[in-house]
Amino acid sequence: MKSSCHPDLSVRIGKLRLKNPVIVASGTFGYGQEFDNFMDLNQLGAIIPKGISLNPMQGNPPPRIFETNGGVLNSIGLQNPGLQNFIKEKLPYLKKIKTTLIINFFGKTQQEYVELSKRLDDLPGISGLEMNISCPNVQQGGIIFGTDPRMTYRLVSRVRKSTQHPLIVKLSPNVTDIALMARSAEEGGADAVSLVNTFKALAINIQLKKPELGNIIGGLSGPAIKPIALRMVWEVFQAVKIPVIGMGGIMKAEDAIEFILAGACAIQIGTANLVNPKTGAEVIEGINQYLVQNKIKSIKHLIGVFTKEKGGMQRA
């Protein structure tokens, strides 16, 4: 058994074992290589590259990023090189990193989700899939599947049958009852849920009387959303039996620990990577220090402790 000087940071997400609970979030860490000057990427618990689709996508018209108080609005629109170019140009580098590689993917139709998950099944070097049903910045696909519980159930069931990989379903916060969406994903066969994606949002330039984003609407992320994301993780943890991966505004280790206490078995860092590219490494170190200072032998002893012991709720 490890001593409290070297706490055990490893976590399990279904069949997946991560060396620590810190994952870098899709769309905020490029394809890994962009960050290798800043930190040792092998330290990370897992990497989730930018979401991929079957065919290349151009994304939305510029401007596509706008800074707000305590957050960022983006309307990238899922720009990506498509599966074949990803395999040729991005995957070889990602496979060399000694960490868990989880592929984030999405489709415009149910058939595209199914097709993509089948093709990803045969690729060596991939440990799991994160299925994005929650992007607020695209017209088709994405969020449409993530805001209707029956559609979520149907889509997840179909994808479940077409892949052997551990399947994480990434939920949208743009719903009335996120726990209901999480249960639909669980019933459809998801191995885990991750939440939250960005919140649908708007910013207006008052001089030009025009939107700040080319797409008008974007997704809000960063510290501004943290308390809402944390509340959603807390609700979902109480609603499902499968593991919950938490994210939304995590900037430092203390934020990550809040999500873990609420019930997240792992956390993702998104917008913080754009502010400080070393955030992932710093959060791992900060969690380690917290465990040492509090004489906790394993991160597993922290997962959901707040919710289970002190702050659970009676759901109506």
Ligand X SMILES: Cc1cc2nc3c(=O)[nH]c(=O)nc-3n(C[C@H](O)[C@H](O)[C@H](O)COP(=O)(O)O)c2cc1C
- As annotated, the active-site residues are 135
Q: Residue 163 or residue 268: which is nearer to ligand X going by CB?
A: 268
Instruction: Provide the token pair at 273.
Output: 């990577």
Q: Is 190 a residue that touches ligand X (CB under 6 A)? A: no
Q: Is 163 a residue that touches ligand X (CB under 6 A)? A: no
Which x/- pattern, by CB under 6 A, does the window 3-42 give for ligand X? ----------------------xxxx--------------
Provide the residue type at 81 as one letter: P
Cβ proximity of 163 and 118 under 8 Å:
yes
Cβ proximity of 52 and 228 under 8 Å:
no
Map the footprint of ligand X across residues 273-312, applying CB under 6 A: none
Q: Residue 72 or residue 262: which is nearer to ligand X going by CB?
A: 72
Whole-angstrom distance, CA of residue 285 vs CA of residue 150: 41
**Shortest Å, Cβ 292 to ligand X:** 25
Q: Residue 8 or residue 101: which is nearer to ligand X going by CB?
A: 101
Cβ proximity of 9 and 266 under 8 Å:
no
Q: Is 72 a residue that touches ligand X (CB under 6 A)? A: yes
Closest CA to 111 of 79, 137, 145, 65: 145
**Shortest Å, Cβ 282 to ligand X:** 14
Q: Residue 233 or residue 269: which is nearer to ligand X going by CB?
A: 269
Q: Is 74 a residue that touches ligand X (CB under 6 A)? A: yes
Q: Is 128 a residue that touches ligand X (CB under 6 A)? A: no
Cβ proximity of 233 and 182 under 8 Å:
no
Whole-angstrom distance, CA of residue 66 vs CA of residue 208: 15
**Shortest Å, Cβ 273 to ligand X:** 8
Q: Is 174 a residue that touches ligand X (CB under 6 A)? A: no
As a whole number of Å, the CA-based R_g of the chain is 18
Candidates 13, 76, 185, 244; binder of ligand X (CB under 6 A) is 76
Phi and psi, residue 225, nearest 5°:
-95, -5
Cβ proximity of 60 and 214 under 8 Å:
yes
Q: Is 152 a residue that touches ligand X (CB under 6 A)? A: no
Instruction: Provide the token pair at 144.
Output: 């449409």
Mark out the alpha helices in the chain (DSSP H runs): 82-85, 91-96, 110-121, 143-146, 149-161, 178-188, 226-239, 253-262, 272-275, 279-293, 305
**Shortest Å, Cβ 255 to ligand X:** 9
Map the footprint of ligand X across residues 206-225, applying CB under 6 A: 221-222, 225
Candidates 78, 171, 245, 253; binder of ligand X (CB under 6 A) is 78
Whole-angstrom distance, CA of residue 283 vs CA of residue 299: 13
Q: Residue 7 or residue 243: which is nearer to ligand X going by CB?
A: 243
Q: Residue 21 or residue 248: which is nearer to ligand X going by CB?
A: 248
Whole-angstrom distance, CA of residue 167 vs CA of residue 300: 21
**Shortest Å, Cβ 315 to ligand X:** 25
Q: Is 90 a residue that touches ligand X (CB under 6 A)? A: no
**Shortest Å, Cβ 128 to ligand X:** 14
Q: Residue 27 or residue 149: which is nearer to ligand X going by CB?
A: 27
Between helices 226-239 and 253-262, what is the axis angle to 10°? 30
Contacts with ligand X, residue ranges (CB under 6 A): 25-28, 50-51, 72, 74, 76, 78, 104, 132, 170, 197-198, 221-222, 225, 247-250, 269-272
